[in-house]
């Protein structure tokens, strides 16, 4: 007896996450065959020798006896109160532990905050390029992602007037990713203030993804969005994964501020969804208070001489020395969104290049189109490897681009 193929849900038709997609699977196949792949597609500090601060590990281990039972659906009180204290220290008022939810990383919380908000056809303004989970989560939760451009020629900064022009009666929320993944842009205060006013004028919920909040370079200033949004609801999302190098702990949080008085039903809906998944990972939550209240070791890493700073500088220098590449210098986060000069390589295609770079040079990067952009001449790498490794990477990139140029020239001659 034959049976029809089992088809996936139609809700996945507009969902993609190429950072861990086809190219990553091919890289895994090559590794199983014995090849050494330099994987730069994911910002995963532990894979590059970064350790979670010892004080956080000790805090988690010391509280393991308290971590065997389910906790409150919003998270343990010490972790939520630590988030409140951080927000207050940054100048955010009106936040209590009741407005803080702990999740299994920011990834889970992105899904939950959108699921609690959206109805069929509701629109969410999402930056382009974006961290693709935002677009995917909007689509999965019955909404429509409307991308506002953050153009390379503008240093990947948005134009608030362009953002406002995209608003319709169906627009419910504005997503801001600052410091930005994938571009490393750090938004100036004036840009953030203008976006805050746009959201307030139209009653939009602001979702501010600030997972890289302390990862800034060369004097760039990180401005918490919650300090600027007052007359609408603001949700600040952050966690332990990046700044504290604890991706595997799966601990993130969302703190609500601004106009919370008229959001009680929404917050109750979010608590219901949190209850349905019982609670977030409990052992990792015990590291939050120590992380936020203790020594911020990230500062040494992003200062001159620090490993992240020097890796970023190596990327900037190597792009400057290339005849093919261009870059808006990343001022934050742990990535570079590298462009290829169309005047030199007019037929460049980011997906084809990424595949060839993997197959022939054993370097895995993420094509720019993975981040919901309309152009095909960018790719993202993480700056987590040390500078010496990155020099090897860029030598291979240069070799592959040179080979592509020869092939393209041959095709033109034919």
Of 135, 116, 125, 127, the residue nearest 154 (C-alpha):
127
Tokens 């595949």 sit on residue: 355
Euclidean distance between the first and the last CA atom of the chain, given in angstroms as a whole number = 53
For the domain spanning 10-51+299-413, the CATH number is 3.90.1150.10
Architecture of the 54-293 domain: 3-Layer(aba) Sandwich (3.40)
Q: Where does residue 36 rank: exposed (0-12), middle (13-18), buried (19+ CB within 10 A)?
A: exposed
Percent of the chain residues topping a pLDDT of 90: 88
Name the pLDDT band for 414 (thresholds 50, 70, 90): very low
Taking the CB of residue 54, how many other CB atoms lie within 10 A of it? 10
**161, HSE (Cβ side, Cα atoms, 13 Å):** 0
The domain locations on the chain are: 10-51+299-413, 54-293
Length of the chain: 414
Do 10-51+299-413 and 54-293 come out as alike in CATH topology?
no
User: pLDDT-derived band of residue 233, with 50, 70 and 90 as boundaries?
Assistant: very high
pTM for the predicted model, two decimal places: 0.94
Percent pLDDT > 70 in the chain is: 96
What phi, psi does 379 have (nearest 5°)? -150, 155
pLDDT band at 30 (very low <50, low <70, confident <90, very high): very high
State the DSSP code for 96: -
Q: How far is CA 27 from the centre of its chain?
A: 22
Whether 364 shows a pLDDT value over 60: the answer reads yes
Taking alpha carbons only, the member of 353, 355, 325 closest to residue 337 is 325
Band of residue 152 on the pLDDT scale cut at 50, 70, 90? very high
């Amino acid at each position: 007896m034959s049976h029809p193929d089992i088809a996936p849900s139609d809700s996945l038709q507009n969902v993609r996450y190429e950072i861990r997609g086809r190219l990553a699977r091919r890289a895994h196949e090559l590794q199983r065959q014995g090849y050494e792949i330099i994987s730069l597609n994911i910002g995963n500090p532990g894979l590059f020798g970064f350790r979670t601060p010892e004080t956080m590990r000790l805090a988690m281990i010391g509280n393991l006896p308290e971590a065997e039972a389910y906790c409150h659906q919003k998270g343990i009180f010490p972790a939520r109160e630590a988030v409140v204290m951080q927000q207050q220290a940054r100048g955010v008022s009106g936040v209590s532990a009741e407005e803080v939810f702990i999740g299994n990383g920011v990834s889970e919380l992105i899904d939950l905050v959108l699921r609690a908000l959206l109805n069929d056809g509701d629109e969410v303004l999402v930056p382009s390029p974006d961290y693709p989970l935002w677009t995917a989560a909007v689509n999965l939760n019955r909404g429509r992602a409307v991308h506002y451009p953050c153009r390379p020629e503008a240093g990947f900064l948005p134009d608030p007037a362009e953002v406002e022009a995209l608003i319709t009666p169906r627009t419910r929320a504005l997503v801001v990713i600052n410091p930005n993944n994938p571009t490393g842009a750090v938004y100036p205060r004036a840009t953030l203030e203008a976006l805050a006013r746009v959201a307030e004028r139209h009653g939009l919920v602001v979702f501010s993804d600030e997972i890289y909040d302390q990862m800034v370079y060369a004097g760039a200033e990180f401005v918490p969005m919650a300090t600027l949004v007052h007359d609408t609801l603001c949700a600040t999302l952050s966690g332990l994964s990046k700044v504290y190098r604890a991706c595997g702990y799966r601990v993130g949080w969302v703190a609500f501020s601004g106009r919370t008085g008229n959001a009680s039903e929404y917050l109750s809906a979010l608590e219901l969804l949190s209850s349905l998944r019982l609670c977030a990972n409990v052992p990792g939550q015990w590291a939050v208070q120590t992380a936020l209240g203790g020594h911020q070791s990230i500062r040494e890493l992003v200062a001159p001489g620090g490993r992240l700073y020097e890796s970023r500088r190596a990327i900037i220098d190597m792009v400057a020395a290339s005849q093919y590449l261009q870059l808006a210098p990343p001022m934050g986060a742990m990535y570079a969104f590298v462009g290829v000069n169309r005047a030199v390589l007019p037929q460049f295609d980011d997906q084809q290049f990424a595949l060839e770079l993997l197959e022939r040079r054993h370097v895995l990067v993420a094509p720019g189109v993975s981040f919901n952009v309309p152009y095909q001449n960018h790719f993202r790498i993480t700056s987590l490897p040390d500078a010496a490794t990155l020099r090897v990477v860029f030598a291979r990139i240069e070799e592959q681009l040179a080979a592509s140029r020869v092939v393209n020239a041959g095709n033109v001659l034919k």
